[in-house]
Amino acid sequence: MITSQIQATLPYNIKTVWTTVTDIKNYHWRSDLSHTEVLNKYQFTEYSKNGTRTHFTTTVFKPYSCWEFTLENSSISGRWRGIFVRFHAKEHDGHCFDLMEEAGKSVFNNIKSHCPDFHDVWVFAGSGNNGGDGYIVAALLLDAGISHRVFALNKPHPGSEAATACEYFLSLGGKIEHALPEINDGCPDVIVDALLGTGIKSAPRAPIDEWILFINRTRAYTVAVDVPSGVNADTGTVEGDCVKADLTVCMLALKPGLLTGDAVDYTGEVTVESLGVDVSVFHGKLTDLDEEIHLPLLRRSYEDIIDDLPHREKTANKGDCGKVLIIGGAKGMGGAARICAQGALRAGAGLVKVATDSVNINALNAGLPEAMTIDFNDEEALSKALSWADVTAIGPGLSQNEKARKT
């Protein structure tokens, strides 16, 4: 008896591999076959181009896990077992190639939907996983026969998913350029910014900054992968040069930095792709075996958060639904305190009290009668209010004068 064991790693998600390998009727990727014949649910026959007929009987069929069958022809008989294993995030430095492939597909699909008449795409890829997403986009462009160019300063980190994506693109016949295009090379319809990802904490260094400036000088429709290169995904700050995108395709969940700080001038339209992952079940965190990883999962609408809001009983008293104290509104600045109080009421606070300058009280009572008011110069009333409140907001319209500092 002869036993052989072959192991292969393929740059596709496990569903794609399983479907391709087990689809008996779709044999065109097999160069050795002339045709196949499905006999019943468990049996099929393959006919090779040299005339050999091999009969197969399936003995185990566990989707995305195991396919086992016996085989027999005029020369051999035996058993074949295929074990399908998905790459796990723990084994790959917190990332998963399946997600990278889905991310690349989502960017490609967004390009098609936002720029239906595009003909030429330039992909700028970094050395990290953001660049890996870019290589997947490039592979899809190549497969679709769409004109494209790929520019990369450095090779992806060895052994990373980005390296696998790069190797896959090259295996299809793709080409990578390591210098910026010449001025007379023209301008593409679309540029994909896959240079830097969510990990940036400072200004992009040379020569990345030069590549960013080049992208911004073109008139192409620019699509940023996850975040525009140069944006701090946590804070929204932009320390140096930053890609000015027309569209940002954000993966899994919105990053806080895309909605705050300087980032809003660079993101363009923001769309969120779940990549087939139900991120709502994480409720702001992922538990990865021994370590709890907090994620910036932002909800975008009332429908996104309705299930997480505490249920208010029909017989509930307003005093049971939270007491908010707002200290602010110096003379001439009462509007800020009023807006803050209105926001607290709309958010569901049962009782809202505003400690403000006495000159603002009449206007506040007239414009927002559901809010209570006290004079913040009354130290006794203010002390009682602080003890009364569940939550205290200090500062809206408080000014920066000596009285405000004492308050």
Question: How far apart, in whole angstroms, are the C-alpha atoms of residue 160 and residue 157?
Answer: 6
- Residue 299 is assigned to a structural domain of this protein: no
Are 53 and 171 part of one and the same domain? Answer: no
Are 58 and 130 part of one and the same domain? Answer: no
- Residue 4 is assigned to a structural domain of this protein: no
On whether the CB atoms of residues 57 and 69 are closer than 8 A, the answer is: yes
Residue 235 CB contacts under 8 Å (≥ 6 apart), including other chains: 256, 257, 260, 261
Nearest alpha-carbon partner for 72 in 61, 60, 58, 56: 56
pLDDT at 294: 45
CATH number of the structural domain spanning residue 238: 3.40.50.10260
Are 115 and 51 part of one and the same domain? Answer: no
On whether the CB atoms of residues 242 and 212 are closer than 8 A, the answer is: yes
- Residue 8 is assigned to a structural domain of this protein: no
Are 350 and 287 part of one and the same domain? Answer: no
On whether the CB atoms of residues 309 and 349 are closer than 8 A, the answer is: no
3-state secondary structure of 86: coil
* Residue 52: both structure tokens together: 């050999």
Phi then psi dihedrals of residue 176, to 5 deg: -120, 130
pLDDT digits (tens, 9 = 90+) for 54-89: 999 999 887 777 899 999 999 889 999 888 876 544
- Residue 346 is assigned to a structural domain of this protein: yes
Are 236 and 322 part of one and the same domain? Answer: no
Task: Name the stretches of the chain with pLDDT < 70.
Answer: 1-3, 11, 86-96, 278-309, 402-407
* Residue 84: both structure tokens together: 């399908």
Handedness of CA 135, 136, 137, 142 (dihedral sign): positive
Which residues span the domain enclosing 26?
Answer: 14-83
Distances (CA, A) of 265 to 228, 261, 371: 11, 9, 36
Are 219 and 197 part of one and the same domain? Answer: yes
pLDDT digits (tens, 9 = 90+) for 219-244: 899 999 999 999 998 888 998 999 99
Burial group, residue 364, by CB count within 10 angstroms (0-12, 13-18, 19+): buried
Are 152 and 226 part of one and the same domain? Answer: yes
What amino acid occupies position 206? A
Number of domain units in the chain: 3
3-state secondary structure of 177: strand
- Residue 106 is assigned to a structural domain of this protein: yes
Are 240 and 191 part of one and the same domain? Answer: yes
pLDDT at 280: 55
Are 262 and 138 part of one and the same domain? Answer: yes
- Residue 41 is assigned to a structural domain of this protein: yes
pLDDT digits (tens, 9 = 90+) for 91-103: 444 346 778 888 9
- Residue 5 is assigned to a structural domain of this protein: no
* Residue 387: both structure tokens together: 């003890």
- Residue 74 is assigned to a structural domain of this protein: yes
Are 381 and 239 part of one and the same domain? Answer: no
For 254-287, letters b (16+ CB in 10 Å) and e give bbbbbeebbbeebbbebebbebebebeebeeebe
CA geometry: angle 113, 17, 133, nearest 5 deg: 45
